[in-house]
Protein backbone atom coordinates (compact mmCIF):
# COMPACT_ATOMS: atom_id res chain seq x y z
CA UNK A 1 0.00 0.00 0.00
CA UNK A 2 1.56 3.35 -0.99
CA UNK A 3 2.45 5.75 1.84
CA UNK A 4 0.19 8.77 2.14
CA UNK A 5 1.83 12.13 2.75
CA UNK A 6 0.28 15.10 4.51
CA UNK A 7 1.34 18.25 2.63
CA UNK A 8 -0.90 20.57 4.66
CA UNK A 9 2.04 21.59 6.88
CA UNK A 10 4.95 21.62 4.47
CA UNK A 11 8.16 23.37 5.47
CA UNK A 12 7.99 26.90 4.09
CA UNK A 13 11.08 29.09 4.08
CA UNK A 14 11.03 32.88 4.19
CA UNK A 15 12.34 33.07 0.61
CA UNK A 16 9.67 30.65 -0.65
CA UNK A 17 6.96 32.64 1.10
CA UNK A 18 8.10 35.91 -0.49
CA UNK A 19 8.37 34.27 -3.92
CA UNK A 20 4.77 33.08 -3.58
CA UNK A 21 3.71 36.61 -2.63
CA UNK A 22 5.51 38.01 -5.68
CA UNK A 23 3.85 35.43 -7.92
CA UNK A 24 0.52 37.13 -7.16
CA UNK A 25 1.78 40.18 -9.05
CA UNK A 26 2.36 39.48 -12.77
CA UNK A 27 4.71 42.46 -13.12
CA UNK A 28 7.01 41.34 -10.28
CA UNK A 29 10.66 40.96 -11.31
CA UNK A 30 12.09 39.15 -8.28
CA UNK A 31 14.05 42.23 -7.11
CA UNK A 32 11.98 42.49 -3.93
CA UNK A 33 12.75 38.86 -3.01
CA UNK A 34 16.47 39.59 -3.31
CA UNK A 35 16.11 42.49 -0.86
CA UNK A 36 14.29 40.39 1.75
CA UNK A 37 16.91 37.67 1.24
CA UNK A 38 19.65 40.23 2.00
CA UNK A 39 17.87 41.32 5.20
CA UNK A 40 17.50 37.70 6.31
CA UNK A 41 21.20 37.05 5.64
CA UNK A 42 22.17 40.10 7.71
CA UNK A 43 19.78 38.95 10.45
CA UNK A 44 21.49 35.55 10.67
CA UNK A 45 24.85 37.27 11.03
CA UNK A 46 23.54 39.69 13.67
CA UNK A 47 21.87 36.82 15.55
CA UNK A 48 25.21 35.00 15.71
CA UNK A 49 26.98 38.13 16.99
CA UNK A 50 24.29 38.74 19.63
CA UNK A 51 24.51 35.18 20.94
CA UNK A 52 28.32 35.35 21.18
CA UNK A 53 28.57 39.00 22.19
CA UNK A 54 30.01 38.45 25.65
CA UNK A 55 32.37 35.68 24.54
CA UNK A 56 33.69 37.76 21.64
CA UNK A 57 34.04 40.97 23.64
CA UNK A 58 31.28 42.79 21.73
CA UNK A 59 29.42 43.90 24.86
CA UNK A 60 29.76 47.56 25.79
CA UNK A 61 30.06 51.01 24.30
CA UNK A 62 31.74 51.66 20.96
CA UNK A 63 33.02 55.04 22.12
CA UNK A 64 31.03 57.28 19.79
CA UNK A 65 27.55 58.79 19.55
CA UNK A 66 25.09 58.54 16.66
CA UNK A 67 23.03 61.30 15.06
CA UNK A 68 20.47 60.86 17.86
CA UNK A 69 23.06 61.84 20.46
CA UNK A 70 22.92 58.29 21.86
CA UNK A 71 26.04 56.36 22.80
CA UNK A 72 26.64 53.62 20.26
CA UNK A 73 27.12 50.08 21.47
CA UNK A 74 29.68 47.86 19.76
CA UNK A 75 26.90 45.69 18.40
CA UNK A 76 25.06 48.74 17.00
CA UNK A 77 28.04 49.25 14.70
CA UNK A 78 28.35 45.54 13.86
CA UNK A 79 24.63 45.21 13.05
CA UNK A 80 24.63 48.39 10.97
CA UNK A 81 27.62 47.19 8.96
CA UNK A 82 26.02 43.77 8.37
CA UNK A 83 22.86 45.33 6.92
CA UNK A 84 24.74 47.90 4.85
CA UNK A 85 27.01 45.25 3.33
CA UNK A 86 24.25 42.73 2.60
CA UNK A 87 21.86 45.30 1.12
CA UNK A 88 24.56 47.27 -0.66
CA UNK A 89 25.09 44.46 -3.17
CA UNK A 90 21.44 44.30 -4.25
CA UNK A 91 21.14 45.99 -7.64
CA UNK A 92 17.57 47.22 -7.08
CA UNK A 93 18.34 49.17 -3.88
CA UNK A 94 18.53 52.92 -4.51
CA UNK A 95 18.85 54.32 -0.97
CA UNK A 96 19.72 52.94 2.46
CA UNK A 97 18.81 54.90 5.61
CA UNK A 98 19.89 53.78 9.07
CA UNK A 99 19.23 55.11 12.56
CA UNK A 100 23.00 55.04 13.08
CA UNK A 101 23.89 57.26 10.10
CA UNK A 102 23.51 61.04 9.77
CA UNK A 103 22.20 60.96 6.21
CA UNK A 104 20.73 58.32 3.85
CA UNK A 105 23.23 56.55 1.59
CA UNK A 106 22.52 56.80 -2.14
CA UNK A 107 23.64 53.62 -3.90
CA UNK A 108 22.19 54.20 -7.36
CA UNK A 109 19.63 56.36 -9.11
CA UNK A 110 16.32 55.21 -10.57
CA UNK A 111 17.69 55.27 -14.11
CA UNK A 112 20.42 52.88 -12.97
CA UNK A 113 17.94 50.34 -11.58
CA UNK A 114 17.35 51.73 -8.10
CA UNK A 115 13.75 50.71 -7.40
CA UNK A 116 13.61 50.57 -3.61
CA UNK A 117 14.64 52.41 -0.45
CA UNK A 118 15.39 50.34 2.65
CA UNK A 119 15.26 51.98 6.08
CA UNK A 120 16.25 50.27 9.32
CA UNK A 121 17.07 50.45 12.99
CA UNK A 122 19.89 47.90 13.01
CA UNK A 123 19.75 46.95 16.69
CA UNK A 124 16.85 48.31 18.72
CA UNK A 125 17.32 47.97 22.49
CA UNK A 126 21.09 47.41 22.27
CA UNK A 127 21.70 49.05 25.66
CA UNK A 128 19.99 45.96 27.18
CA UNK A 129 22.47 43.49 25.70
CA UNK A 130 24.61 43.17 28.81
CA UNK A 131 21.59 41.88 30.75
CA UNK A 132 20.47 39.33 28.15
CA UNK A 133 17.24 41.11 27.19
CA UNK A 134 15.80 40.47 23.71
CA UNK A 135 16.87 43.04 21.11
CA UNK A 136 15.90 43.42 17.47
CA UNK A 137 16.19 44.84 13.98
CA UNK A 138 13.33 46.88 12.47
CA UNK A 139 13.08 47.55 8.73
CA UNK A 140 10.86 49.31 6.19
CA UNK A 141 10.91 49.04 2.39
CA UNK A 142 9.66 51.89 0.17
CA UNK A 143 9.58 52.45 -3.57
CA UNK A 144 12.14 54.90 -4.89
CA UNK A 145 10.73 57.86 -6.82
CA UNK A 146 13.19 58.43 -9.68
CA UNK A 147 11.90 61.99 -10.08
CA UNK A 148 13.03 62.99 -6.58
CA UNK A 149 16.74 63.75 -6.49
CA UNK A 150 17.16 64.33 -2.75
CA UNK A 151 17.74 61.15 -0.74
CA UNK A 152 16.01 62.65 2.28
CA UNK A 153 12.94 63.64 0.25
CA UNK A 154 12.85 60.19 -1.34
CA UNK A 155 12.65 58.32 1.97
CA UNK A 156 10.33 60.78 3.73
CA UNK A 157 7.16 58.97 2.73
CA UNK A 158 4.06 58.31 4.85
CA UNK A 159 3.75 54.75 6.13
CA UNK A 160 0.80 53.94 3.86
CA UNK A 161 3.28 53.84 0.96
CA UNK A 162 5.41 51.07 2.45
CA UNK A 163 5.96 48.03 0.23
CA UNK A 164 6.90 45.88 3.22
CA UNK A 165 7.93 46.15 6.84
CA UNK A 166 9.17 43.80 9.48
CA UNK A 167 11.38 43.11 12.45
CA UNK A 168 13.75 40.44 13.68
CA UNK A 169 13.75 39.56 17.38
CA UNK A 170 16.96 38.11 18.81
CA UNK A 171 15.76 36.41 21.98
CA UNK A 172 15.40 32.81 23.14
CA UNK A 173 15.08 32.12 19.41
CA UNK A 174 15.52 34.34 16.36
CA UNK A 175 12.14 35.39 14.98
CA UNK A 176 11.46 37.17 11.68
CA UNK A 177 8.09 38.94 11.31
CA UNK A 178 7.12 40.54 7.99
CA UNK A 179 4.19 42.03 6.11
CA UNK A 180 3.98 42.88 2.43
CA UNK A 181 0.48 44.34 2.81
CA UNK A 182 -1.23 40.96 2.69
CA UNK A 183 -1.28 39.99 6.36
CA UNK A 184 1.54 39.21 8.79
CA UNK A 185 3.77 36.14 8.69
CA UNK A 186 6.03 34.90 11.48
CA UNK A 187 9.17 32.82 10.85
CA UNK A 188 11.69 31.24 13.21
CA UNK A 189 15.34 30.57 12.42
CA UNK A 190 16.22 26.89 12.43
CA UNK A 191 19.95 27.03 13.26
CA UNK A 192 20.51 23.47 12.06
CA UNK A 193 19.53 24.18 8.46
CA UNK A 194 20.20 27.93 8.55
CA UNK A 195 16.78 28.95 7.27
CA UNK A 196 13.86 31.00 8.57
CA UNK A 197 10.84 28.66 8.55
CA UNK A 198 7.19 29.73 8.57
CA UNK A 199 5.54 29.26 11.96
CA UNK A 200 2.37 31.30 11.54
CA UNK A 201 0.76 33.00 8.53
CA UNK A 202 -2.01 35.61 8.72
CA UNK A 203 -1.15 36.39 12.33
CA UNK A 204 -3.90 38.31 14.17
CA UNK A 205 -3.49 40.39 17.32
CA UNK A 206 -6.18 39.59 19.93
CA UNK A 207 -9.02 42.12 20.03
CA UNK A 208 -8.44 42.86 23.72
CA UNK A 209 -6.15 42.01 26.64
CA UNK A 210 -5.89 43.89 29.94
CA UNK A 211 -2.18 44.64 29.57
CA UNK A 212 -0.38 47.90 28.88
CA UNK A 213 3.28 48.46 28.03
CA UNK A 214 4.80 51.86 28.86
CA UNK A 215 7.71 53.29 30.84
CA UNK A 216 5.74 54.51 33.88
CA UNK A 217 8.83 56.18 35.33
CA UNK A 218 7.91 59.15 33.13
CA UNK A 219 4.16 59.04 33.88
CA UNK A 220 4.17 62.34 35.76
CA UNK A 221 5.38 64.07 32.58
CA UNK A 222 2.83 62.40 30.26
CA UNK A 223 -0.11 64.46 28.89
CA UNK A 224 -3.16 64.37 31.18
CA UNK A 225 -5.06 61.89 28.98
CA UNK A 226 -2.39 59.21 29.39
CA UNK A 227 -2.27 59.81 33.15
CA UNK A 228 -6.06 59.42 33.38
CA UNK A 229 -5.86 56.20 31.36
CA UNK A 230 -3.19 54.76 33.66
CA UNK A 231 -5.26 55.61 36.73
CA UNK A 232 -8.24 53.84 35.12
CA UNK A 233 -6.09 50.82 34.18
CA UNK A 234 -4.78 50.53 37.75
CA UNK A 235 -8.33 50.62 39.09
CA UNK A 236 -9.54 47.98 36.62
CA UNK A 237 -7.05 45.20 37.18
CA UNK A 238 -4.71 45.81 34.22
CA UNK A 239 -1.21 44.35 34.24
CA UNK A 240 1.93 46.24 33.28
CA UNK A 241 4.52 44.59 31.01
CA UNK A 242 7.48 46.69 29.92
CA UNK A 243 10.83 45.33 28.72
CA UNK A 244 12.43 48.51 27.38
CA UNK A 245 13.21 47.05 23.94
CA UNK A 246 10.59 48.15 21.39
CA UNK A 247 10.87 44.98 19.29
CA UNK A 248 10.38 42.74 22.33
CA UNK A 249 7.51 44.83 23.73
CA UNK A 250 5.67 45.11 20.40
CA UNK A 251 6.23 41.41 19.64
CA UNK A 252 4.63 40.41 22.94
CA UNK A 253 1.73 42.80 22.27
CA UNK A 254 1.27 41.38 18.76
CA UNK A 255 1.07 37.80 20.04
CA UNK A 256 -0.87 38.23 23.27
CA UNK A 257 -2.73 41.53 22.85
CA UNK A 258 -2.77 44.70 24.88
CA UNK A 259 -1.42 48.15 24.13
CA UNK A 260 2.08 49.57 23.67
CA UNK A 261 2.57 53.29 24.34
CA UNK A 262 5.44 55.74 24.01
CA UNK A 263 3.72 59.06 24.78
CA UNK A 264 5.15 62.54 24.40
CA UNK A 265 6.82 63.87 27.57
CA UNK A 266 7.96 67.28 28.80
CA UNK A 267 11.50 66.32 27.75
CA UNK A 268 10.39 64.95 24.35
CA UNK A 269 7.16 66.78 23.46
CA UNK A 270 7.28 65.50 19.87
CA UNK A 271 7.73 61.89 20.99
CA UNK A 272 10.84 59.71 21.30
CA UNK A 273 10.54 56.98 18.67
CA UNK A 274 11.76 57.60 15.10
CA UNK A 275 8.97 57.61 12.55
CA UNK A 276 10.59 56.09 9.46
CA UNK A 277 12.30 53.06 10.94
CA UNK A 278 10.44 52.44 14.20
CA UNK A 279 6.90 53.84 14.35
CA UNK A 280 5.92 53.46 10.69
CA UNK A 281 6.98 49.82 10.14
CA UNK A 282 5.56 48.69 13.49
CA UNK A 283 2.28 50.46 12.71
CA UNK A 284 2.10 48.71 9.33
CA UNK A 285 2.61 45.33 10.97
CA UNK A 286 0.07 45.99 13.72
CA UNK A 287 -2.62 47.20 11.30
CA UNK A 288 -2.03 44.23 8.99
CA UNK A 289 -2.61 41.99 12.03
CA UNK A 290 -5.95 43.67 12.74
CA UNK A 291 -4.75 46.18 15.34
CA UNK A 292 -4.54 49.96 15.41
CA UNK A 293 -1.69 52.48 15.52
CA UNK A 294 -1.82 56.22 16.23
CA UNK A 295 0.68 59.04 16.59
CA UNK A 296 -1.11 61.86 18.34
CA UNK A 297 -4.59 62.34 16.88
CA UNK A 298 -3.69 60.84 13.50
CA UNK A 299 -3.28 57.32 12.25
CA UNK A 300 0.48 56.64 12.30
CA UNK A 301 0.57 55.41 8.70
CA UNK A 302 -0.90 58.69 7.44
CA UNK A 303 1.75 60.90 9.04
CA UNK A 304 3.91 62.81 6.53
CA UNK A 305 7.52 62.94 7.76
CA UNK A 306 9.82 65.80 6.77
CA UNK A 307 13.11 64.61 8.27
CA UNK A 308 14.87 61.23 8.19
CA UNK A 309 15.23 61.08 11.97
CA UNK A 310 11.87 62.66 12.80
CA UNK A 311 10.31 61.50 16.08
CA UNK A 312 6.65 60.85 16.91
CA UNK A 313 4.61 59.53 19.84
CA UNK A 314 3.35 55.95 19.44
CA UNK A 315 0.17 54.18 20.55
CA UNK A 316 -0.46 50.74 19.04
CA UNK A 317 -1.84 47.30 19.76
CA UNK A 318 -5.18 45.54 20.11
CA UNK A 319 -8.05 47.44 18.51
CA UNK A 320 -10.17 47.50 21.68
CA UNK A 321 -7.28 48.54 23.94
CA UNK A 322 -6.05 51.33 21.65
CA UNK A 323 -9.58 52.71 21.41
CA UNK A 324 -9.86 52.67 25.20
CA UNK A 325 -6.69 54.78 25.54
CA UNK A 326 -8.00 57.16 22.86
CA UNK A 327 -11.19 57.70 24.87
CA UNK A 328 -9.05 59.31 27.59
CA UNK A 329 -6.92 61.25 25.10
CA UNK A 330 -10.04 62.90 23.63
Statement: residue 28 has pLDDT above 90? no
pLDDT digits (tens, 9 = 90+) for 109-159: 888 889 999 999 999 988 877 777 889 999 999 999 888 878 899 999 999
- What are the residue boundaries of the structural domains of the chain, listed by start? 14-200, 211-329
**CATH superfamily, region 14-200:** Fructose-1,6-Bisphosphatase, subunit A, domain 1 (3.30.540.10)
pLDDT digits (tens, 9 = 90+) for 67-111: 565 667 888 999 999 999 999 999 999 999 999 999 999 999 888
pTM of the model: 0.93
How remote is the C-alpha of 233 from its chain's centroid? 27
Q: What is the pLDDT of residue 78?
A: 92
In CATH, the number for domain 211-329 is 3.40.190.80
pLDDT digits (tens, 9 = 90+) for 236-267: 999 999 999 999 999 999 999 999 999 999 99
Percent of the chain with pLDDT over 90: 75
Statement: residue 7 has pLDDT above 50? no
Amino acid sequence: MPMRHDFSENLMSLQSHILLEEAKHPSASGDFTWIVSAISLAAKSISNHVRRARLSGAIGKFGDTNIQGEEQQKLDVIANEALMRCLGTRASVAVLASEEDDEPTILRKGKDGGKYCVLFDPLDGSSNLDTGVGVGTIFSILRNDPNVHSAQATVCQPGVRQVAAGYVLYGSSTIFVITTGNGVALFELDPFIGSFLLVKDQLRVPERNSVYSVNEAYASTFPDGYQRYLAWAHANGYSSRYIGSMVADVHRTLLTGGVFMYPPTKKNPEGKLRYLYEASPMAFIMEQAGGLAYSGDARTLEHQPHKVHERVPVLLGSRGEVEKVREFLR
